[in-house]
Amino acid sequence: MKPATTKAHILRAKLAELVARGVDGEKDSAARKLARLEAAFDFTAPNPDGADFFVDTPGASTIRRGQHARALDEVFHDGEIAVFVKFAILAAYKVDGTIRDNRDGTFTVSVEAEIASIKTLNFIAKTLHDAFRALLAAFLKLPGASERDSRMFIRAVYDGALNDEKKPGEKLPERSPTKAAKGRKRSLVNAPGLALHPYTIGLEMGRRVRLCVPVESITGELAEAERIARLN
């Protein structure tokens, strides 16, 4: 099979959303189209287009800021990820927004965009949300990954996706510390177990998100990178 192009990756994401959220005939039709698409392209191969998710998503070039805040469809259960999606939209399209804590464990992102831009922004928000959430879940499965490390990792994914990585020579964030053995009360050491630096690997995973690499492939690369680092 030939490598999937940017158009194929984006069509796959839209069909998968219809399969997950569609109803009746719409859902069945999308499932058939998705099966044909996945049989025609290799979605694990490098994208030959050198794609840029924020540029090449259909409708991205016509996103415009508006005078009124409009709520996006996506429901967030992690406030920090909601913040990253909000600022990703601002950085990519100069469209600002707000976040509402719904006081029930969910968060809503609203954007100051023209109504004609909302459909595209809904797709962008869902794709980013799914990617951040899947990568965070995959990271937390790695041996020795702490909660603080996971927050550093997902921030790095955001930085990588937005090409906002640290400058050469700039110090990386410190790893999550843990108390040393008794008798060394003031000594701190890195949390044991995790071989990769969460910020370094997160940057690379974020770059892959921007290049439209399927998130399931990226999570597989994350697990493999940790396995290799542990062996070394």
- Residue 182: predicted pLDDT: 43
Q: In the chain, at which residue ranges do the beta strands (DSSP E only) sit?
A: 2-3, 41-42, 65-76, 97-101, 107-113, 177-179, 188-190
CA distance 165 to 157: 10
- Residue 7: predicted pLDDT: 75
- Residue 189: predicted pLDDT: 40
> CA angle, corner 107, sides to 99 and 74, nearest 5?
95
Residues of the chain with pLDDT below 50 are 178-191
- Residue 190: predicted pLDDT: 42
